[in-house]
Amino acid sequence: MYRKLILSTVLLFVGVVSAAPIEITPAQKISTTTKNFAVGNIYNFKDVKTGEIYKGEVVYYRPNGSTGKEAQVEFGNFTNSSGEPIAGKVTVIPSNHKNYQEYVNYFNGSACIWIRGSEVILREGKQTFLIDYNNDNSKTFSIKLVPTGKISTTHDELEYGDIIEFKSAYDVYKNEKLYIKANTPVFGEIDYIDENGWCFDNAAIYIKKFKTKTVEGENVTLNSYLKIEGLELLQYKSKRIAQFFNYISVLFRGKEVDIKTCDTNVNFVITVEE
């Protein structure tokens, strides 16, 4: 699976002189299967040519999902052994499991809700990536959001235009400077609600615009897409037996979005591109 990783590199100008792409390999195991994997984590990479150790930060993380949706990880904010910044970003998406994906495609996903997409698993010295200075100049940053209260479609509590409150789980950096502090309120405006129905028709909440405050106290609007789907929330149930019976029930009735205040492990990641 490791040889089939889909790699892409995106330029992130941070005031560093342009140079040739740097080929790196993981200097430690990196896996999205661990519970502590999150945006903001720092991992070690090694320059394939020189052996120098670089540090790279997880700037975006999309967990894997049902019906074959792969996990996705982006590393950025690289620094060399002297602490100097290295411009560039590496995106890693694992390849589809061929047999599973063909099965999912054949049934259009409706009968394959139990099949989860691949995780990102990188092992020391097993994969190589390019940090390319000379690709494009898009600038992105990610925010991990945690709901601060109940979010539910079970009794038609929510509708278009309603505001859902989250908080930032970690400090957010932009251009290597603190931009949004951890635990800062982030307000998302509901753009659309898809009600649940029979047989795999799951409820979903769509948000395209968020508002928050920067570390300087400036009110800012963040344009980013977030879909909160009832089916995907089942992954946060701590007991496997509860997950199993909830997945089975989708055969008859799609899942509602139902996040309770006690569901402290539920989180979402949005990416803002400027």
Question: What would the pLDDT profile of 217-247 be if each residue is shown by its tens digit?
Answer: 999 999 998 988 877 776 766 555 555 555 5
For residue 119, the one-letter residue type is E
Average predicted confidence (pLDDT) for the chain: 77
- Kindly state the DSSP code that residue 160 receives in the 8-state scheme: T
Q: What is the pLDDT of residue 34?
A: 86
DSSP string computed for 169-230: SS-EEETTEEEE-TT-EEEEEEEEEE---BSS---EEEEEEEEEE-TTS-EEEEEEEEEEET
Write out pLDDT tens, residues 106-117: 444 444 445 667
Write out pLDDT tens, residues 3-24: 444 443 333 333 343 456 788 9
- Kindly state the DSSP code that residue 257 receives in the 8-state scheme: P
Q: Compute the C-alpha angle 268/169/122, nearest 5°.
A: 65
Write out pLDDT tens, residues 242-262: 555 555 555 566 677 888 877
Q: Classify each residue of 105-134 as buried b or exposed e, where b means 16 or more C-beta atoms within 10 Å of its C-beta.
A: eeeebeebbebbbbbbbbeeeebebbbbbe
Q: What is the pLDDT of residue 133?
A: 59
Q: What is the pLDDT of residue 244?
A: 52
Write out pLDDT tens, residues 191-207: 998 887 666 667 889 99
Q: What is the pLDDT of residue 77?
A: 85
Q: What is the pLDDT of residue 255?
A: 76
DSSP string computed for 71-134: PEEEEEEEE-TTS-EE--EEEEEPPP-HHHHHHHHHTTTTT-TT-BPPPPEE-TTT--EEE-TT
Please state, in angstroms and rounded to a whole number, the distance separating the CA atoms of residues 122 and 152: 36
pTM of the model: 0.58
**Is the per-residue pLDDT at 136 higher than 70?**
no
Number of H helices, E strands in the chain: 2, 20
Give percent above pLDDT 70 in the chain: 70
Strands 22-26 and 151-152: unpaired
Q: What is the pLDDT of residue 99?
A: 44
Q: What is the pLDDT of residue 44?
A: 96
Q: What is the pLDDT of residue 166?
A: 96
**Is the per-residue pLDDT at 179 higher than 80?**
yes
